[in-house]
Chain A
Amino acid sequence: MVQYTKIEFLIACASSHVRDGENVFGGTGMPLLAALLAKETHAPRSNLISEAGFIDARPRNVPLSVADTRYYFGCAASLGLIETLGFLLQGGRIDVGFLGAAQLDEYGNINTSYIGPYDAPKVKLPGSGGGNDIASSAKRLIIMMSHDKRKFLKKLDYMTSPGHLEGPGSREKWSMVGKGPEVVITDMCQMDFDPETKKIRLMSVHPGYSVQDILDNVMFDLIVPDDVPTTPEPTQEQIDIMHKLDPNGIYLAKGE
């Protein structure tokens, strides 16, 4: 049996959602390693883009910032924000973007701005950055977040980035370029969205968890299909590649 950490599992899982030939906004952290892993395995022609301006990047060391010079050497072009978020993303040319979330609602709407009321926030979070731009305009959105019951809510403290908003037809109403969230990956399960209602639905449960565990750990209604598969485990090859990509454990060593 393959031994793996939670982080390795999540990276392999996220990587499986990147398809060959796609333009991918990778960012930093787990999404970056997931995009790089995809490129080294099933998606060799995927194009890794950092919103700071690096296009078709192949970093030899793991960048800490989207603007980190580690993204530079070996990339195909080194430009700027109007290029990446404007011409590429708003131009409808980004296939897949990754976002994190501090809170998520049942339509996949995202809060990364404030905990508590807007007028007297308890915690000021990082904000949108390019997140709202990516959620509005990437063809597909993959959300990665840690699984904490208090994060999966009926009502967000603040909606930073659009998921499926109020359900069917809402993204069309605002003429959004992208199609919205496709999958949410947590450390317990994967969730996707019911095509009819645009409501969040259990997609697969990670090894070691039951459907009931998931239901006990969300505060919104979750659609549970009759058949919920177990999320596939990473292969030894995937784990070995991850460690070649991040030999110093910049991200892989976190929270082991």
Chain B
Amino acid sequence: MTEAEIEDKRITLEEAVKLVSDGDGLFWGGFGYQRPPIAFAHELVRQKKRNLTIYTCGSEVDLEIMAGAGVASRFEIAFSAIEALGLSNNIRRRVSEGALQVEDYTNLAMAMRFLGGALNVPFMPIRSMMGTDMVNLARYRGENKLKVIDCPFTGQKICLVPSLQPEFSIVHVQRVDKSGNAQIDGIVGEDIEGSRCGKKLIILAEELIDETEIRTHPDQTKIPATYVDHIVVLPYIAHPMMCHDYYDYDLEHLMMFHKLTKTEEGWREYLDNHILGVEDHFGYLDLVGWERLNKLRATRPWGY
């Protein structure tokens, strides 16, 4: 067998974010505290992107950053808060100001919308949301938020949610080879479906590994290279949140972030210092401090 030359899909974070146009829709990977692509959110802010629509189940700090900095004007999500700490202050303010519209779905509804997009079918049926204001009230999607119909087979009520095929899927993983075979440790959240639903897939990875390592542990590959368009490899992509087997969340930073976002002035201070005031992701990491980052390193077998 001849060894075909492998395409190297690596680009810089800056190059990856340049691909995103104002007004685009993004599937946003990670779930809760786990593997959010925070570094990508920072770069969206630095490049002053506008009017993005973010599709995800429940992200936390990253949604706060994109709402706060005015990068995103529409969210189709199920959840926004910082678990254990409190409400999403930036989102709350932007919604009250009318600068951000949130179209409300449930976690299952969003996961099914990604699955429908990945399967290339126009909608998926689910048994949630019926009988509530999630059906009765909609924002910009209007009649196209969802439909409750009588099932053509059983006659029972069923809720149809529209599938999603946004311009990009942005997914953060632990490891990738240069062709794009991406491995996820721990839970996958909605990233299996989400990675397959976008028209282009950008993978952010903590570590670049050799193809032979991929082929030695292929069961860990959750996203095969054929789906992947571009790869960005950087450390601590999710800071101050966590990345299973790589690093824990930075609770002190998280609490500082949440406290600052309680006022617009506080948020501006964070934005100016931690996002706009640094050159790039390494500038942010230098500011956080490597001693502190090293302390967050995960230990085995716990994974945090």
- What chain B residues lie within 8 Å of A122 (beta carbons)? 96
Do the beta carbons of A54 and B187 come within 8 Å of each other? Answer: yes
CA of A137 to CA of B159, assembled, Å: 14
Residues of B within 8 A of A (CB): 31-34, 57-58, 77-81, 83-84, 87-88, 91-92, 95-96, 102, 104-109, 111-112, 115, 126-134, 137, 156-158, 186-193, 242, 244-245, 248-249, 251, 298, 301-304
The A48-72 residues at the B interface (CB cut-off 8 A) are 51-54, 60, 64-70, 72
Interface window among A2-10, A172-180, A192-200, A234-242: A172-180
Shortest distance from the beta carbon of A66 to any chain B beta carbon, whole Å: 5
Partner of B34, one of A29, A67, A86, A121: A67
CA of A86 to CA of B79, assembled, Å: 17
- What chain B residues lie within 8 Å of A171 (beta carbons)? 131
A90 (CB) vs chain B CBs: closest residue: B127
Q: Considering the complex of A and B, which 9 residue pairs feature the smallest CB-CB distances, nearest first?
A: A67-B32, A53-B187, A65-B33, A129-B79, A67-B34, A126-B81, A80-B188, A174-B130, A65-B32
CA of A7 to CA of B104, assembled, Å: 31
B136 (CB) vs chain A CBs: closest residue: A159
Partner of B244, one of A69, A120, A174: A69
Do the beta carbons of B137 and A158 come within 8 Å of each other? Answer: yes
- What chain A residues lie within 8 Å of B92 (beta carbons)? 123-124
CA of A29 to CA of B81, assembled, Å: 14
Do the beta carbons of A69 and B87 come within 8 Å of each other? Answer: no
- What chain B residues lie within 8 Å of A46 (beta carbons)? none
Shortest distance from the beta carbon of A207 to any chain B beta carbon, whole Å: 29
Partner of B32, one of A52, A80, A165: A52
Interface flags for A160-177 (1: CB within 8 Å of B; 0: not) read: 111001000011011111
Do the beta carbons of B107 and A81 come within 8 Å of each other? Answer: yes
19 contacts between A and B (CB under 8 A): A52-B31, A53-B189, A68-B33, A69-B244, A80-B111, A80-B189, A80-B192, A81-B190, A82-B112, A90-B127, A124-B80, A129-B58, A132-B132, A132-B134, A133-B106, A159-B134, A175-B130, A175-B157, A176-B127
Shortest distance from the beta carbon of A103 to any chain B beta carbon, whole Å: 12
**Given A82-B115, A124-B80: 11 more A-B contacts, CB < 8 Å:** A51-B107, A60-B302, A64-B251, A73-B301, A78-B187, A113-B133, A120-B96, A127-B104, A128-B79, A130-B79, A165-B131
Shortest distance from the beta carbon of A253 to any chain B beta carbon, whole Å: 13
Residues of A within 8 A of B (CB): 28-29, 51-54, 60, 64-70, 72-73, 78-82, 85-86, 89-90, 109, 113, 118, 120-133, 136-137, 158-162, 165, 170-171, 173-177, 250
A132-B249 CB under 8 A given contacts A73-B302, A79-B188, A81-B31: no
CA of A63 to CA of B248, assembled, Å: 12
B94 (CB) vs chain A CBs: closest residue: A124
Do the beta carbons of A127 and B79 come within 8 Å of each other? Answer: yes
- What chain A residues lie within 8 Å of B84 (beta carbons)? 28-29, 64-65, 250
Do the beta carbons of A137 and B81 come within 8 Å of each other? Answer: no
CA of A176 to CA of B249, assembled, Å: 38
Shortest distance from the beta carbon of B112 to any chain A beta carbon, whole Å: 7
Do the beta carbons of B32 and A66 come within 8 Å of each other? Answer: yes
A174-B108 CB under 8 A given contacts A65-B83, A81-B31, A158-B133: no
Shortest distance from the beta carbon of A104 to any chain B beta carbon, whole Å: 14
A85 (CB) vs chain B CBs: closest residue: B108
Do the beta carbons of B96 and A125 come within 8 Å of each other? Answer: no
Do the beta carbons of A126 and B79 come within 8 Å of each other? Answer: yes
B110 (CB) vs chain A CBs: closest residue: A81
CA of A158 to CA of B102, assembled, Å: 14
Shortest distance from the beta carbon of B170 to any chain A beta carbon, whole Å: 17
Shortest distance from the beta carbon of B145 to any chain A beta carbon, whole Å: 13
CA of A173 to CA of B148, assembled, Å: 12
Partner of B191, one of A65, A80, A109, A130: A80
Among B91, B96, B106, B192, max chain A CB count under 10 A is at B106
